[in-house]
Amino acid sequence: MSDWVLLRGLTREARHWGAFDEALVAHGVVGAGERVVCVDLPGNGAEHAHTAPVSVVAMMDFVRERAVSLKLRFPCRVLAMSLGAMVAAAWAERHAGEIERLVLINTSMRPFARLPERLRPTAWPMLARIAYAWSLQILGLALTVLLLVWRRSPFYLPVRGPDVDQVSQARNEPLVSHGGSRTSVPTLGADARSLAS
């Protein structure tokens, strides 16, 4: 008798599994007395208050601690997707006695998937455009904030409302519009532009 742990990928959470746990039971994958537990990676879902670690091993440590706190029976079975699958593989590699079975979906990890298998080459140009627009947005916000901070110095007049409003508005705009390839890149207001020139 083993409990199941379900792990999602980057920026996903337990709610993305929907009724998958019920489907596992209905299809006889989960037996009587076995539990299915969805664990969120740190920084996501129920664990959003935690800082997301920068390493898969640190994420694995977090998931193991959560599994213990949820009183899962070991060895457990793990079904995981994408980044969650990388975490599950690290768990099995470092603590083999705690894992009975792994089901890994879209692991995106070397050496099992080459770069073109992890990310379709046809998607590369779009991602490059998004990254470019994102860097422009960050640059635009940074310049605006720097100019606003500079203007607060005793050597310049106080900041006026429209520039502050513009920065607030830019922070709330989406990076990429839904349904199109337009990007939202903040621009400096007339007052800020005159300072920059």
Q: Which two tokens stand for residue 97?
A: 């006695």
Neighbours of 151 (CB within 10 A): 17
Confidence check: pLDDT of 51 > 70: yes
Confidence check: pLDDT of 56 > 70: yes
Residue 38: band (very low, low, confident or very high) from pLDDT cuts 50, 70, 90: very high
pLDDT average, residue stretch 38-59 = 91
Per DSSP bridges, beta strands 76-81 and 36-39 are unpaired
Q: Give every CB contact of residue 117 below 8 A, 6+ residues apart in sequence.
A: none
Q: Report which of residues 188 and 135 the model is more confident about.
A: 135
Predicted confidence (pLDDT) per residue in 171-195, tens digit: 455 444 344 444 444 444 444 434 4
Angle at 176 between CA 174 and CA 181, to 5 degrees: 150
Place of tokens 């603590």: 95
* pLDDT at residue 34, rounded to an integer: 95
Predicted confidence (pLDDT) per residue in 98-126, tens digit: 999 999 988 777 777 777 777 778 888 88
Separation of alpha carbons 159 and 153, rounded Å: 10
First to last CA, the chain: 71
Query: Which residues face 106 on adjacent strands?
Result: none
Confidence check: pLDDT of 96 > 60: yes
pLDDT average, residue stretch 155-163 = 44
- In SS3 terms, the chain reads as CCCEEEECCCCCCHHHHCCHHHHHHHCCCCCCCCCEEEECCCCCHHHCCCCCCCCHHHHHHHHHHHHHHCCCCCCEEEEEEHHHHHHHHHHHHHCHHHEEEEEEECCCCCCCCCHHHHCCHHHHHHHHHHHHHHHHHHHHHHHHHHHHHHHCCCCCCCCCHHHHHHHHHHHHCCCECCCCCCECCCCCCHHHHHHHC
